[in-house]
Amino acid sequence: MRVYVLNGPNLGRLGSRQVDVYGVTSYADLADMCADVGAELGLDVVVRQTDAEHELIGWLHAAADEGAAVVLNPAAWSHYSIAVRDACAMLRGPLVEVHISNIHAREEFRHHSVVSAVATGVICGLGVDGYRLALHHLAARPASQVS
């Protein structure tokens, strides 16, 4: 099964950005962990990060066309990007929304995600382990529930 692990703005700065909130794991280490976990589970994992909204939307469109599963950390776009939400709604495969921090325990403007309503599931507040859990969840889904 192909799984896109897609990350939005500022996540490329993991390990140096607000380590009290996001931890010390670098983005490179996160990408390697996702690839390693995916390989262990027999998944074809593609990990990407962008600070450009149109690029993320293009990747979501490609995943929709393929019927691929998606693990998505939309980052700040979670809270206001209807364009990202609409691209997520086009997905035919499962979508797991992941947030490293607990968005519900942070500033009020972070409490709501426009993406959550079209996601298969949401994981937040478990650090980078949320990605591992999302990949395990997707690997355990029956093939009939993938696309």
* Alpha-carbon gap, residue 128 to 109, rounded angstroms: 22
**Residue 22 annotated to the active site:** yes
Q: For residue range 76-89, what is the model confidence (pLDDT) as tens digits?
A: 999 999 999 999 99
| Strands annotated E in 40-146 | 44-49, 69-73, 95-99, 121-124
For the chain, give the percent of residues with pLDDT over 90: 75
The C-alpha atoms of residue 99 and residue 122 are separated, in whole angstroms, by 8
What's residue 145's pLDDT?
60
- Across residues 112-120, what is the average pLDDT? 94
Query: Of the listed 4, 22, 27, 131, which one is catalytic?
Result: 22
> pLDDT of 9-50, one tens digit each?
999 887 777 667 666 689 999 999 999 999 999 999 999 999
Residue 146 pLDDT > 90: no
pLDDT of the residue at 67: 97
7: annotated binding-site residue? no
Q: Is 48 annotated as a binding residue?
A: no
Q: What per-residue confidence (pLDDT) applies to 17?
A: 73
Beta bridge partners of 69: 3
Considering the candidates 54, 61, 80, 99, report the single residue annotated as catalytic.
99
Domain residue ranges in the chain: 2-145
pLDDT in tens, 58-67: 999 999 999 9
Residue 110 counted as an annotated binding residue:
yes
* Predicted pLDDT of residue 92: 97
Residue 18 has a pLDDT of 67
pTM to 2 decimal places: 0.91
| Residue that wins the pLDDT comparison between 22 and 51 | 51
CATH of 2-145, picked from 3.40.50.9100, 3.30.465.10, 3.40.50.720, 3.50.50.60, is 3.40.50.9100
